[in-house]
Structure 1
Amino acid sequence: MKDLQTISGWLWSTPMVLLVLGIGTVFTVWMRVPQIRRIPDMLSQLKSGGGSDRGISSFESLAMALGGRVGVGNIAGVAAAIGVGGPGAMFWMWLTAIVGAAVAVVESSLAQVWKEEVEGEYRGGPAYYIEKGLNAKWLALAYAVATILATTITGPTIQANSIAVSAKEAFAIDPRITGLFVATLFCLVVFGGMKRIGRVCGLMVPFMAIAYVLVGIVVLVVNAEHVPAMFRLIFESAFGMDSMFGGMLGAAILWGVRRAVYSSEAGTGSGAQASAAAEVSHPVKQGLAQGFSVYVDTLVVCTITGLMILVTNSYNVLAEDHSAVVQYLPGVDAGPAFTQNAIETVAPGFGAAFVAIAMFFFAFTTLLSFGFYADTNIAYILRSHRHERTIIRVFQVVLAASILVGSFRKSDFAWSLADVGLGLYTWINLVALIPLVPVAIRVFRDYERQRKAGEDPVFRPENVGVTNAPLWDSIADHYERTGEALPAADSPMKDHQR
Structure 2
Amino acid sequence: MDFLELIFTKIGDLTWGWSLIPILVVFGVFITLATGFVQVQFFGRMFRVLRKSNNAADADKISAREALLVSVGGRVGGGNIAGVAVAITLGGPGAVFWMWVVALVGMATSLVECSLAQLFKRRTGEHSFRGGPALSIIHGLGKEYKWLAGIYAVCLIAAFGFGFNAFQGNTVAGAMLDSFHIARSWTAIGLAILAAIIIFGGIHRIAKASDVIVPIMAVGYLAMALVIIVLNISEVPHVLSMIVKNAFGIEQAVGGGMGAAIMQGMRRGLFSNEAGLGSAPNVAATAEVRHPISQGITQSFSVFIDTIVICSCTAFVILLSDVYVPGAEGIDGVALTQQSVTSELGNWAQYYLSIAVLLFAFSSIIYNYYLGENALSVFSENPIAITILRVAVVGIVFIGALAPGATDVFFFSDPMMGVLALVNLLAIMMLFPVAMRLLRDFRAQLKAGIDRPVLDPDMYADLDIDRSAWEKRD
Q: Tell me the TM-score normalised to structure 1 length.
A: 0.88
Q: 1:377 aligns with which of 370, 375, 396?
A: 375
Pair 1:445-2:440 in alignment: yes
Q: Deviations over 1:180-236 (max 9, x none)?
A: 211111001110111111011001101110110110011112222322222122111
> CA separation in 2, counterparts of 1:466 and 1:103?
25
The equivalent residue for 2:18 is: 14
Q: Deviations over 1:7-30 (max 9, x none)?
A: 433321232121111111121111
Q: CA deviation at 1:59?
A: 0.4
Pair 1:363-2:361 in alignment: yes
Relative to structure 1, is the Cα distance of residues 404 and 316 closer, same or farther in structure 2, using a 3 angstrom cutoff? Answer: farther
Relative to structure 1, is the Cα distance of residues 128 and 449 closer, same or farther in structure 2, using a 3 angstrom cutoff? Answer: same
The equivalent residue for 1:262 is: 271
Q: CA deviation at 1:291?
A: 0.5
Runs of at least 5 residues in structure 2 that lack an aligned partner in the other structure:
none
Q: 1:194 aligns with which of 196, 203, 206?
A: 203
Pair 1:129-2:142 in alignment: no
Q: Name the SS for the 1:27 alignment partner.
A: helix
Q: What is the identity, as a one-letter code, of the residue corresponding to 1:380?
A: V
> CA separation in 2, counterparts of 1:416 and 1:230?
36
Pair 1:390-2:377 in alignment: no
The equivalent residue for 1:65 is: 71
> CA separation in 1, counterparts of 2:448 and 2:55?
20
> CA separation in 1, counterparts of 2:328 and 2:39?
36
Q: CA deviation at 1:288?
A: 0.4
Q: Name the SS for the 1:240 alignment partner.
A: coil
Pair 1:81-2:87 in alignment: yes
Q: Name the SS for the 1:118 alignment partner.
A: strand
> CA separation in 2, counterparts of 1:434 and 1:422?
18
Q: CA deviation at 1:98?
A: 0.5
Spell out the pairing of 1:137-156 with structure 2 (5 A cutoff). 137-156=146-165
Q: Deviations over 1:394-447 (max 9, x none)?
A: 111111122122223259948955423422311211122111111111111111
Q: 2:122 aligns with which of 84, 102, 116?
A: 116
The equivalent residue for 1:400 is: 394
CA contact (8 A) 2:123 2:466 kept: no
Q: Name the SS for the 2:464 alignment partner.
A: coil
Q: CA deviation at 1:122?
A: 0.2
Relative to structure 1, is the Cα distance of residues 248 and 431 closer, same or farther in structure 2, using a 3 angstrom cutoff? Answer: farther
Moved more, 415-424 or 212-221: 415-424
Spell out the pairing of 1:265-304 with structure 2 (5 A cutoff). 265-304=274-313
The equivalent residue for 1:493 is: none
CA contact (8 A) 1:157 1:418 kept: no
CA contact (8 A) 1:151 1:399 kept: no
Moved more, 232-241 or 291-300: 232-241
Q: CA deviation at 1:53?
A: 7.2
Pair 1:454-2:460 in alignment: no
Q: Name the SS for the 2:36 alignment partner.
A: coil
Pair 1:427-2:436 in alignment: no
Q: 1:204 aligns with which of 199, 202, 213?
A: 213
The equivalent residue for 1:485 is: none
Q: CA deviation at 1:249?
A: 2.2
The equivalent residue for 2:328 is: 326
Q: What is the identity, as a one-letter code, of the residue corresponding to 1:81?
A: A
Pair 1:308-2:284 in alignment: no
Pair 1:44-2:48 in alignment: yes
Relative to structure 1, is the Cα distance of residues 19 and 75 closer, same or farther in structure 2, using a 3 angstrom cutoff? Answer: same
Q: Name the SS for the 1:371 alignment partner.
A: helix
> CA separation in 2, counterparts of 1:402 and 1:440?
37
Q: CA deviation at 1:46?
A: 4.0
> CA separation in 1, counterparts of 2:377 and 2:60?
15
Q: How many residues align?
A: 463
> CA separation in 1, counterparts of 2:50 and 2:153?
28
After superposing on structure 2, the runs of 4+ consecutive aligned residues of structure 1 that deviate more than 6 Å are: none
Q: State the identity %.
A: 34
The equivalent residue for 2:168 is: 159
Relative to structure 1, is the Cα distance of residues 244 and 336 closer, same or farther in structure 2, using a 3 angstrom cutoff? Answer: closer
Relative to structure 1, is the Cα distance of residues 54 and 218 closer, same or farther in structure 2, using a 3 angstrom cutoff? Answer: closer
Q: CA deviation at 1:460?
A: 2.3
Pair 1:236-2:245 in alignment: yes
Q: Tell me the TM-score normalised to structure 2 length.
A: 0.92
> CA separation in 2, counterparts of 1:396 and 1:52?
27
Relative to structure 1, is the Cα distance of residues 316 and 375 closer, same or farther in structure 2, using a 3 angstrom cutoff? Answer: farther
Q: CA deviation at 1:316?
A: 6.0
Q: What is the identity, as a one-letter code, of the residue corresponding to 1:444?
A: L
CA contact (8 A) 1:54 1:122 kept: no
Q: What is the identity, as a one-letter code, of the residue corresponding to 2:68?
A: L
Q: Deviations over 1:247-269 (max 9, x none)?
A: 33222222211221111111112
> CA separation in 2, counterparts of 1:416 and 1:151?
12
> CA separation in 1, counterparts of 2:131 and 2:37?
25
Q: Deviations over 1:136-169 (max 9, x none)?
A: 1111111111101112221112211111111111
The equivalent residue for 1:215 is: 224
Q: Name the SS for the 1:117 alignment partner.
A: strand
Runs of at least 5 residues in structure 1 that lack an aligned partner in the other structure:
318-324, 481-498
Q: CA deviation at 1:354?
A: 1.3
Q: CA deviation at 1:270?
A: 1.4
> CA separation in 2, counterparts of 1:411 and 1:346?
35
Q: Give me the CA root mean square deviation.
A: 2.1
The equivalent residue for 1:468 is: 464
Q: 2:334 aligns with which of 333, 336, 341?
A: 336
Q: Name the SS for the 2:454 alignment partner.
A: coil
